[in-house]
């Protein structure tokens, strides 16, 4: 079974997909980590991210692998473990430019299909249900209002586990900055020509602004059962 989870930045796709992978014994595929790894590689090598050809060449040559560690999943590019490095604000700021290049997308989608070919997968990203796995048995488009998404990200950055706890604390100025960045990234991701962020016609829409992570997981597990 393939479960496709798409949605804007910070909508809880990773948390949800992780939980489903654990509970239902599926392989977890974090496609955003792949675009982030290519972005990190370009920044590290001093490649100008506005240079489509140079960035595309990096993506086409890149060897991206996922692994496991005690804390969860690891990602490496060209033999370097970049699990932590791909989550910096600098990568956040540049990833939407990198991921809009058609050749970058082509290379990543080919690798994603290869990683998914083993069978049971829960994949999360922006174009999983529309482009990567259009025949996925279950497609979900996960959303939450922008303020809730920014709040969760801010709490996570401070080392907390926000889940859907609106009462958790975060630095207000940082939260405002995260909100601006999320909104900017969503705008770039939804307005690009190539595989824009949008729900597949047959996706189930789940707004998790007022749901707990467990409630979201349960809704998707129910959809999986109905699809079997």
Instruction: Please indicate if the annotation marks 96 as binding a ligand.
Output: no
Question: CB under 8 Å to 8, separation ≥6 — which residues?
Answer: 143, 149, 182, 186, 189, 190, 197
Number of residues that bind ligand C5P (CB under 6 A): 13
Closest approach of ligand C5P to the CB of residue 211, in Å:
19
Site for ligand C5P in 87-126 (CB under 6 A): 95-96, 99, 125-126
Site for ligand C5P in 197-216 (CB under 6 A): none
Closest approach of ligand C5P to the CB of residue 112, in Å:
8
Q: Are 56 and 19 in contact (CB under 8 A)?
A: no
Per-residue x/- mask for ligand C5P, residues 141 to 180, rule CB under 6 A? Answer: ----------------------------------------
Say how many residues make up the chain: 228
Chain residues in the site for ligand C5P (CB under 6 A): 9, 31-32, 35-36, 95-96, 99, 125-127, 185, 189
């Amino acid at each position: 079974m393939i479960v496709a989870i798409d949605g804007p930045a910070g909508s809880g796709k990773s948390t949800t997909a992780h939980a489903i992978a654990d509970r239902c014994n599926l392989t977890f595929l974090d496609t955003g980590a792949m675009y982030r790894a290519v972005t990190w590689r370009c920044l590290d090598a001093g490649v100008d991210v506005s240079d489509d050809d140079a960035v595309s060449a990096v993506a086409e040559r890149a060897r991206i692998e996922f692994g496991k560690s005690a804390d969860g999943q690891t990602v490496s590019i060209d033999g370097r473990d970049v699990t932590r490095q791909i989550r910096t604000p600098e990568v956040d700021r540049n990833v939407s430019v990198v991921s809009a290049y058609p050749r970058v997308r082509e290379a990543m989608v080919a690798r994603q299909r290869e990683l998914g070919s083993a069978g049971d997968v829960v994949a999360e990203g922006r174009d999983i249900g529309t482009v990567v796995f259009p025949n996925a048995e279950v497609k979900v488009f996960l959303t939450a209002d922008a303020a809730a998404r920014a709040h969760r990200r801010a709490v996570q950055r401070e080392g907390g586990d926000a889940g859907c706890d609106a009462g958790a604390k975060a630095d207000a100025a940082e939260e405002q900055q995260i909100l601006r960045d999320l909104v900017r990234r969503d705008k770039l991701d939804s307005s690009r020509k190539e595989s824009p962020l949008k729900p597949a016609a047959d996706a189930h829409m789940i707004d998790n602004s007022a749901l707990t992570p467990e409630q979201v997981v349960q809704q998707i597990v129910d959809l999986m059962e109905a699809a079997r």
